């Protein structure tokens, strides 16, 4: 009587083919995933800027000026970009997450006008918008929105004078 041997193992070639297929799928899926998460954080920063603008309007209603949002008291103008005082608004986005992706700034302020900005931490670290404008998103007191979509530091290029993501 002869014994039949049943070969039920996986060959090295089959294993390598499976690993190659997984590698190809991962190389396609990961950049898409990164684009999706980047877009999500960017939309969150845009929402934070809108909420920041609402906080600026509340500050104006109480103090009758936008000057002082950095120091917490009305009457002090700041010439360069500064983070908002914690009593006015938070200085980073996402607001409800510990993994911060954008710094929020007041880039211009006068008694009756302001400009707010969100700069991506991954591109500019903690640099102020005065020195790093790559990927910057802005909103001013008139509702004008810009976004440096191509990350060249100039938000006045064609198609960058809004928040449309295209």
Does some domain include residue 2?
no
Is 103 within a domain? Answer: yes
Nearest to 42 by CA among 97, 132, 119, 116: 119
Q: Assess if residue 96 is contained within a domain.
A: yes
Task: Specify the DSSP class assigned to residue 76.
Answer: -
- The per-residue pLDDT for 78 is 53
Q: Is the dihedral of CA 134, 42, 125, 136 positive or negative?
A: positive
Residue 15 confidence (pLDDT): 92
pLDDT of residue 9: 78
- Which pTM value belongs to this model? 0.77
pLDDT of residue 23: 95
Q: Does some domain include residue 65?
A: yes
In a domain, 27, yes or no: yes
Residue whose token pair is 């190389």: 27
Structural domain harbouring 123: 13-147
Predicted local distance difference test score (pLDDT) of residue 80: 67
| Counted domains in the chain | 1
Is 31 within a domain?
yes
Q: Is residue 85 part of a domain?
A: yes
Query: Which candidate, 131, 123, 89, places its Cα nearest to that of 106?
Result: 89
Three-state SS sequence of 46-61:
HHHHHHHHHHHHHHHH
Nearest-angstrom CA–CA distance, 118 and 137: 5
Q: Is 74 exposed, middle or buried (0-12, 13-18, 19+ CB in 10 A)?
A: middle
Question: What pLDDT score was predicted for residue 5?
Answer: 66
pLDDT value, residue 54: 94
Residue 161 belongs to a domain: no
Across the chain, which has 166 residues, the per-10-residue mean pLDDT values are: 69 93 93 88 91 93 88 54 83 84 88 90 76 86 89 78 74
**pLDDT at residue 28, as a whole number:** 92
Half-sphere exposure of 28 (CA within 13 A, CB side): 5
CB-neighbour burial class of residue 119 (10 A; exposed 0-12, middle 13-18, buried 19+): buried
The answer to whether 129 and 117 are in contact (CB under 8 A) is yes
The confidence score (pLDDT) of residue 71 equals: 60
């Amino acid at each position: 009587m002869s014994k039949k041997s049943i070969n039920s193992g996986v060959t090295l070639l089959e294993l390598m083919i499976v690993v190659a297929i997984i590698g190809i799928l991962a190389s396609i899926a990961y950049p898409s995933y990164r684009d999706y998460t980047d877009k999500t954080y960017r939309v969150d920063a845009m929402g934070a800027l809108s909420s920041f603008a609402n906080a600026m309007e509340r500050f104006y209603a109480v103090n009758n000026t936008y000057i002082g949002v950095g120091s917490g008291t009305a009457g002090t103008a700041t010439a360069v970009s500064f983070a908002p005082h914690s009593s006015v608004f938070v200085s980073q986005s996402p607001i409800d997450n510990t993994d911060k992706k954008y710094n929020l700034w007041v880039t211009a302020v006068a008694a009756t006008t302001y400009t707010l900005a969100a700069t991506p931490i991954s591109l500019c670290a903690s640099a102020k918008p005065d020195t790093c404008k790559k990927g910057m998103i802005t909103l001013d007191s008139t509702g004008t929105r810009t976004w440096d979509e191509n990350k060249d530091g100039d938000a006045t290029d064609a198609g960058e004078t809004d928040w449309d993501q295209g």
